[in-house]
Amino acid sequence: MTDLIKTKVLIIGAGTGGYVAGIRCGQLGLDTILVDGGDGLGGTCLNVGCIPSKAIIHAASKFETVAKAADGGTLGITASKPAIDLAATVAWKDGIVRKLNGGVAALLKKAKVKVINGWAEFSDAKTCTVKTADGDITISAEHVILATGSEPVELPFLPFGGDVISSTEALALDKVPDRLVVVGGGYIGLELGIAYRKLGAEVAIVEMADRLLPLYDKALTDPVARWLEKHGVELHLGAKAGSFENGQLNITTKDGAAVKLKADKVLVTVGRRPRTRGWGLENMGVAMAGPFVKIDDRCATSMRNVWAVGDLTGEPMLAHKGSAQGEVVAEIIAARAQAASGRAASDSAKEKRFDPVTIAAVCFTEPEIVSAGLGPQDVQGRDDVITAMFPFMAIGRALALEAGDDGGFVRVIASKTDHRILGIQAVGQHVSELSNSFAQMMEMGAVLEDVAGTIHVHPTMGEAFHEASLRALGHAIHI
């Protein structure tokens, strides 16, 4: 017999969009059920994406530092040749994930959100059946928030299995492969490829485009390309991957030559697609925008009281976008509940919209890349903008962190008439930590004078943002 539960809000998916929506709904007093049928609380980001990958990247950088100390010394430091027990590193990474899982569970419990573990399948827009270990549960809701996330794209001629792996398996290997071939030169492939190169693997990257990270301008990606070349990473640009047979990946080079690349593991990172299959989306009657669920600026779908957040709704497929959308939806639902009960909702809640000025993106490559707002390709040919760049080689903190000699810089793009900042980019070690400052300035509608007039702490990497803004105004100090 199937149990029936009615609730105010039903959330499908426990990733960064879903669980944040759940916590905010609970904080606002909404009866909420969260169905987790995927990777666990925290979703892809916490379990098999952002957090574990950054843990492995951090461990790889530590290993590289010790390896340098063993190979002639670095900064006056010498050490014995290091060894890596990748199984132990992965266990450490898993411990971080478990700790964060527990934290999310505690927050949901505190917010009085009921979590059901199981796979949901919708029969109509507001009703689903969840298959759990203890039997089926049917849930009927007034509001439904879809937060099913995304999944790795699988190539038909390179299906996942055995030695052909996705990023999920790459974060759980028990030893460093002698030879790793990465198919796809986007941020996921490069982040993991660079990490494994630091850990000692021979790495080759196969990318169909003529250069790496084609969504970013060449000035941002050149320092990454130089790092790859310096560290012996084999690049095959403009190349097409084929089948994997007998420990060799068949590729066709840009010139049309057939080449076989030896590989112990083939990591396929050609993109992610929204998770739209297997849970009854086709029975919900919501409009689509290509492969994504179509939403408006309230994250509302075409079906009344059905909302969607996160990767399911399209680019950029970033965890922090999903979290922000989840908060917006929770507050809209709460405002409607207040109105229905005769209580006046605040004007800010009534008018809540998801309309950010920018959503900053970070590539945790070597060096790191940050981009917020418009880039050079977006303003090409325009004579009403100012563009200025400041190199990290002129920043004391960068030199002290060995981060000033990799070609890194901060760049600002602003309106020539009113100096409003239109875009900010950076490439260099540790620049991911500048991303929030970039986003904040743009969200506040800052002009160049706002950055120039802010006293930046010395010595820090953020001084490059200050100097780039000064340079755009025609009076940089340290260059």
Q: Which residues are catalytic?
A: 458
Residue with tokens 């450490």: 92
Which uninterrupted H or E stretch holds 63?
helix 50-70
Could you tell me whether strands 368-373 and 421-428 are parallel, antiparallel, or unpaired per DSSP bridges? antiparallel
Could you tell me whether strands 409-415 and 385-391 are parallel, antiparallel, or unpaired per DSSP bridges? antiparallel
Residue with tokens 């960064």: 16
Residue with tokens 């001084």: 463
CA 102 → CA 10, 95, 107, 169, distances in Å?
21, 11, 9, 22
Residue 420 burial by Cβ neighbours in a 10 Å radius (0-12, 13-18, 19+): middle
Cis peptide before 367 (omega within 30 of 0): yes
Q: Percentage helix, strand, coil, to 5, in the chain?
A: 35, 30, 40
CB 424, CB 339: distance < 8 Å:
no
Q: How far is CA 326 from the centre of its chain?
A: 16
**Could you tell me which residues are beta bridge partners of residue 427?**
369, 409
Q: What are phi and psi for residue 111, nearest 5 degrees? A: -80, 0
Angle at 404 between CA 402 and CA 407, to 5 degrees: 130
